[in-house]
């Protein structure tokens, strides 16, 4: 037997280039599915997968791989979540040719591409200008696959093989002429016409394709490349090509996800019923029930109101004729009126912000190379972690986009995202504790070796492009939580249409083994009322930002930040100030306003106002006071 390390990409270039939440999911799923094809080639070739832990040829335990092997698990017969990472390690017979993995991926991909072509594109291809050539070029050359194989070196140095291979990037996409895809801007859109010269022909092609695929699958201004089109349309042909149904229609839109906490409060009010009545007074409009079943646990049983298109919960979207062109002016006015009443009844309008959470285990490569850790234990711990992800995300009323290996990507409502991150981390730590137990070796510092995870959490306005949100999540995770803050950290930012307004990072715990910092944030957020929070924190930023440098949060020596903040708090409260209460609040606030590297106690000599600005955001939920 020899070892094989295999990787498939591009990951970010495929998954992150999304316009709708369902694009994110379908990109992740498809990538995972194709990785599963390569794994299947290994199993069929007499090998076994050593990492991740997916079980063996006869007892595959990963639901996606089991379904790919046509032996679906009874607990998850139609897997909907990508659970297989894009790289794996296998033990293969000496005569196993790794090209079999590449061929399996290409053939799985081409199988999907062919059906999408036949079903949707072929009927309109004659309206295009070289559509077939563009399609074939892109389908053929998209995936990048690398592998390294050889005898087991016996010292675990094989864990570095793929990283070494990545030093020499050899995959180049083909030259792409013409107009580019509105989803994946580096690829030509498949009509083949140039808009500046043949706008009408281009529109005719896309209108024809829109008719074939349906408006829901292809938006008014979308002109896609083959890759983006396959990502968008393959759920519709999944049953035929992969053998089971995929439920693309259940993906909540971003305005819907933002409104979730509000829908929970609003759906039983009489105004909600009145709102529905107005919408349905002359028949049931299909377009209005765009979120027919988002499968969000907290909204189960919330009735028809919870099935309304997410735009209908936000005044600005309802007000926008282009966002809701189907509404007559008269009806729009009536709905706006009832929505205002409903907002008053609930006590506030829906927040326009939702959360995207990206998590990733720290230093997995080193862990797998650690000479006192059995790599099988790492695989087992990660499998245990992954198994529990969807349940935790569901408990927080979110949707898991992806959960495989040490990675998680999830959509969550604003008010439960921090708690979800915290619970997922807890699960990660526990999975390793359960598996390693007393066998956990000591690290270089003589302390038990830590197995940690970091997170990037973006609170995004529902209008922000998903691509920017994904880019931000990766930046937060890789650059801020991991590189800058030393891993074992949580990095959070607030993203509006005009850019980032808050960026904050901290180790997970107040001090090693201490209270969780996300809990402090939540407690603080609920202790401020919306109006006061807006005013007080704005003043804090204005006045205290100058006491430290912009990039350096070191306080002027001898300055007592706590006293100053208490004074500011009391001043803002004016007559109702209570010093004892103020001191208690500020003590808590300071806990989230100190620099705190992963796994270390806070640096008391620092003051990072962004912690306060994050509390302000959470307290106001970004409703109307976000600047």
Partner 1 sequence: MRYYLLEPLDTLFFRDGSPFNAGETGQMEVLGTFPPSPTTVVGALRAAFARRLGWQYGDWSEDIKKKLGDGADLGPLRFSGTYVAKDGEPLFPVPLHLLRSGRTLVFLRPGEAALSTDIGEAQLPEISTRTKGLKPLEKAYLTRRGMEKALRGETPDPEDVFEASELWSGENRVGIQRDPDSRTTNEDALYQTTHVRLKKGVALAAGVEGYEGEAPGLLTLGGESRMANLKPCELSLPEAPSLEPGGGSLRYTATLITPARIRDEGWRKPGGALPGLPGRVVSACVGKPVLIGGWDTEKKKPLPLEPYLPPGSTWFMEAEAAKPDEVKEMHTRHIGDKREWGYGQILIGGWR
- Residue 180 in the binding site for partner 1 (CB under 8 A): yes
- Residue 182 in the binding site for partner 1 (CB under 8 A): yes
Q: Residues in contact with partner 1, total (CB under 8 A)? A: 49
Beta carbon of residue 236, minimum distance to partner 1 (angstroms, whole number): 22
Whether the bond into 52 is cis, omega within 30 of 0: yes
Give the nearer residue to partner 1 in terms of CB position, either 98 or 290: 98
Contacting residue, 165, 430, 440, 474, with partner 1 by CB under 8 A: 165
d(Cα 83, Cα 29) in Å, to the nearest integer?
Answer: 8
Contacting residue, 70, 200, 221, 575, with partner 1 by CB under 8 A: 221
d(Cα 415, Cα 425) in Å, to the nearest integer?
Answer: 18
d(Cα 260, Cα 274) in Å, to the nearest integer?
Answer: 19
- Residue 185 in the binding site for partner 1 (CB under 8 A): yes
- Residue 70 in the binding site for partner 1 (CB under 8 A): no
Rounded to 5 degrees, φ, ψ at 615 are -60, -40
Beta carbon of residue 69, minimum distance to partner 1 (angstroms, whole number): 25
Are the C-beta atoms of residues 92 and 1 closer than 8 Å to each other? yes
- Residue 170 in the binding site for partner 1 (CB under 8 A): yes
Binding segment toward partner 1, per CB under 8 A, in 25-33, 49-57, 188-196, 342-350? 188-196
Helix ranges (DSSP H) in 475-529: 517-527
- Residue 167 in the binding site for partner 1 (CB under 8 A): yes
- Residue 98 in the binding site for partner 1 (CB under 8 A): yes
Collect contacts of 298-305 with beta carbons under 8 A, ≥24 apart.
298/260, 298/264, 298/397, 298/413, 299/260, 299/263, 299/264, 299/267, 299/397, 302/263, 302/264, 302/267, 303/267, 304/276, 305/263, 305/266, 305/267, 305/272, 305/273, 305/275, 305/276
- Residue 627 in the binding site for partner 1 (CB under 8 A): no
Which residues in the 562-621 window bind partner 1 by CB under 8 A? none
The pattern of x and - marking residues 119 through 158 that bind partner 1 according to CB under 8 A reads: --------------------------xxxxxx--------
d(Cα 439, Cα 167) in Å, to the nearest integer?
Answer: 34
Contacting residue, 129, 201, 250, 465, with partner 1 by CB under 8 A: 465
- Residue 179 in the binding site for partner 1 (CB under 8 A): yes
Contacting residue, 499, 514, 549, 624, with partner 1 by CB under 8 A: 499
Contacting residue, 468, 527, 588, 606, with partner 1 by CB under 8 A: 468
* CA-to-CA dists, residue 472 to 197, 421, 424, 454, 496, angstroms: 36, 17, 20, 15, 11
The 8-class DSSP code of residue 511 comes to S
- Residue 160 in the binding site for partner 1 (CB under 8 A): yes
d(Cα 547, Cα 231) in Å, to the nearest integer?
Answer: 50
Are the C-beta atoms of residues 64 and 36 closer than 8 Å to each other? yes
The pattern of x and - marking residues 322 through 341 that bind partner 1 according to CB under 8 A reads: x-------------------
Give the nearer residue to partner 1 in terms of CB position, either 57 or 149: 149
- Residue 168 in the binding site for partner 1 (CB under 8 A): yes
- Residue 178 in the binding site for partner 1 (CB under 8 A): yes
Q: Can you say how many angstroms the Cα of residue 471 is from the centroid of all Cα atoms in its chain?
A: 10
Beta carbon of residue 387, minimum distance to partner 1 (angstroms, whole number): 30
Beta carbon of residue 94, minimum distance to partner 1 (angstroms, whole number): 11
Give the nearer residue to partner 1 in terms of CB position, either 225 or 612: 225
Residue 18 is encoded by which pair of tokens?
């999304």
The full DSSP string for 112-152 is HHHHHIIIIIGGGGGGSSSHHHHHHHHHHH--EEEEEEES-
Which residues are near partner 1 by CB under 8 A? Answer: 19, 98, 102, 145-150, 160-161, 164-165, 167-182, 185-186, 189, 194-197, 219, 221-223, 322, 366, 463, 465, 467-468, 497-499
């Amino acid at each position: 037997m020899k070892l094989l390390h295999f990787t498939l990409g591009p990951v970010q270039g495929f998954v992150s280039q999304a316009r709708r939440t369902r694009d994110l999911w379908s990109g992740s799923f498809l990538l995972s599915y194709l990785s599963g094809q390569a794994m299947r080639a290994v199993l069929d070739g007499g090998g076994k997968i050593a990492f991740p832990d997916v079980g063996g040829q006869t007892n595959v335990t990963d639901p996606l791989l089991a379904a790919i092997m046509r032996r679906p698990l009874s607990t998850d017969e139609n897997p909907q979540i990508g659970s297989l990472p894009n790289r794996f390690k296998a033990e293969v017979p000496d005569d196993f040719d790794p090209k079999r993995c590449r061929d399996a991926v290409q053939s799985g991909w081409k199988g999907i591409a062919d059906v999408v072509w036949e079903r949707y594109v072929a009927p309109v291809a004659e309206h295009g200008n070289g559509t077939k050539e563009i399609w074939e070029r892109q389908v053929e050359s998209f995936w990048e696959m690398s592998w390294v194989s050889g005898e087991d070196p016996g010292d675990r140095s094989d864990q570095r093989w793929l990283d070494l291979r990545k030093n020499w990037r050899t995959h180049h996409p083909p030259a792409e002429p013409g107009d580019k895809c509105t989803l994946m801007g580096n690829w030509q859109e498949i009509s083949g016409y140039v808009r500046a010269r043949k706008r009408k022909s281009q529109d005719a092609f896309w209108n024809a394709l829109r008719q074939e695929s349906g408006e829901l699958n292809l938006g008014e201004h979308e002109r896609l490349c083959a890759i983006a089109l396959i990502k968008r349309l393959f759920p519709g042909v999944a049953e035929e090509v992969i053998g089971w149904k995929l439920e693309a229609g259940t993906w909540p839109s971003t305005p819907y996800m933002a409104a979730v906490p509000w829908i929970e409060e609003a759906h039983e009010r009489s105004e909600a019923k009145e709102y529905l009545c107005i919408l349905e007074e002359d028949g049931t409009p299909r377009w209005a029930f765009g979120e027919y079943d988002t499968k969000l646990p907290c909204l189960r049983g919330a009735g028809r109101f919870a099935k309304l298109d997410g735009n209908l919960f936000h005044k600005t979207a309802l007000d926008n004729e282009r966002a809701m062109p189907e509404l007559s002016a008269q009806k729009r006015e009536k709905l706006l009126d009832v929505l205002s009443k409903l907002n008053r009844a609930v006590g506030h309008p829906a927040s326009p912000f939702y959360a995207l959470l990206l998590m990733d285990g720290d230093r997995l490569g080193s862990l797998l190379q650690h000479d006192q850790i059995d790599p099988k234990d790492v695989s087992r711990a990660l499998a245990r972690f992954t198994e529990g992800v969807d349940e935790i995300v569901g408990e927080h009323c979110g949707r898991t986009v992806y959960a495989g290996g040490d990675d998680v990507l999830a959509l969550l409502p604003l008010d439960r995202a921090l708690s979800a991150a915290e619970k997922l981390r807890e699960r990660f730590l526990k999975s390793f504790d359960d598996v390693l137990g007393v066998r956990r070796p000591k690290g270089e510092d003589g302390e038990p070796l830590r197995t940690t995870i970091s997170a990037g959490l973006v609170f995004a306005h529902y209008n922000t492009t998903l691509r920017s949100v994904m880019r931000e999540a990766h930046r937060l995770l890789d650059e801020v939580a991991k590189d800058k803050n030393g891993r074992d950290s949580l990095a959070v930012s607030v993203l509006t249409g005009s850019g980032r307004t808050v960026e904050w990072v901290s180790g997970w715990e107040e001090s090693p083994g201490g209270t969780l910092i996300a809990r402090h944030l939540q407690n603080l957020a609920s202790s401020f009322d919306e109006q006061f929070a807006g005013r007080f924190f704005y003043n804090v930023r204005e006045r205290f930002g100058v006491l430290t440098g912009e990039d350096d949060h070191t306080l002027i020596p001898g300055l007592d930040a706590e006293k100053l903040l208490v004074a500011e708090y009391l001043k803002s409260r004016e007559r109702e100030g209570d010093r004892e209460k103020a001191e208690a609040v500020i003590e808590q606030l300071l806990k989230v306003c100190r620099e705190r590297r992963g796994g270390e106690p806070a640096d008391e000599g620092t003051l990072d106002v962004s912690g306060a600005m994050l509390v302000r955001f959470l307290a106001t939920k970004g409703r109307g006071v976000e600047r």
